Amino acid sequence: MDMTSLIASIPLFQGLSPGQCAQLAAIAVRKYHSKGQTFFLEGDEAEGFYIILAGRVKIFKLSPDGKEQIFHILEEHEPFGEAAVFAGSHYPASAQALAETPVLFFPTRKFVDLIRRDPTLALAMLALLSMRLRKLTALVENLSLKEVPGRLAAYLLVQCDGNSPLATISLDVSKNQMAALLGTIPETLSRILKRMSDEKLIKTGPRSITILDKRGLADLAEGNRKLG
């Protein structure tokens, strides 16, 4: 696909005119990262932001003693690194490819120039940053105000909404990664999955989790209920 139509197909850029897409196309750079490769590390000088064309990327931080907190796992068409473009000069977290991941790269300078001339684009970016803020707010809430069973319940409910009308979630992240996403460790996650199974809230399959009691999980997520 040529660059302009590629850009036009990205949700973030919906609503832009063909001319505007062409301008974006003129500054975008195709890049390719293979599994495990990092896009940037926390603290790196920020030179631009990325949009995923395929594959998966995790945004994360490590503690000095090696614990990992994953902020997001992003997929096709999702942007990342965008917060560093408009304020501050270094990336606030690290980004690593979880699979073969082709991306588009937009250099800060040129992209900001475009925004200056294109309020539609500016509003799209504002909406994007606001969404991110919202997601991070939810993460803080989970970490600070819920215990691990509640976080897990909330996570499962979100996954099944976005994933399929049926209540079976195909696990596309390893349980290790899932633990890091929930701000805990694999052992704890394993134990809590077991407790949830015992209480018939879920059924754990080989690469999947089936939700048996949505109401029960919701109660858990909202703190109205505890695991036995």
- Smaller CB separation from DNA, 110 or 191: 191
- Alpha helices (H) in the chain, listed in sequence order: 3-8, 18-27, 83-86, 108-117, 119-145, 148-163, 175-182, 186-198, 214-221
Residues near a copy of itself (CB under 8 A), total: 49
The interface with a copy of itself within residues 106-125 (CB under 8 A) comprises 112, 115-120, 122-123, 125
User: What's the Cα-to-Cα distance from 82 to each of 8, 34, 51, 170, rounded to whole Å?
Assistant: 19, 21, 9, 29
- Smaller CB separation from DNA, 118 or 199: 199
Say whether residue 140 binds DNA (CB under 7 A): no
Q: For 55, list phi and psi in degrees, rounded to 5.
A: 90, -160
Say whether residue 168 binds DNA (CB under 7 A): no
**DSSP SS3 for 220:** helix
* Residue 164: count of CB within 10 angstroms of its CB: 11
Report the nearest approach of a copy of itself to the CB of residue 135 (Å). Answer: 9
Q: For 149, list phi and psi in degrees, rounded to 5.
A: -55, -40
The residues binding a copy of itself (CB under 8 A) are 61-65, 67, 69, 71, 83-88, 92-93, 112, 115-120, 122-123, 125-134, 136-141, 143-146, 183, 222-224
The residues binding DNA (CB under 7 A) are 65, 67, 147-149, 171, 174-176, 183-194, 204, 206-207, 226
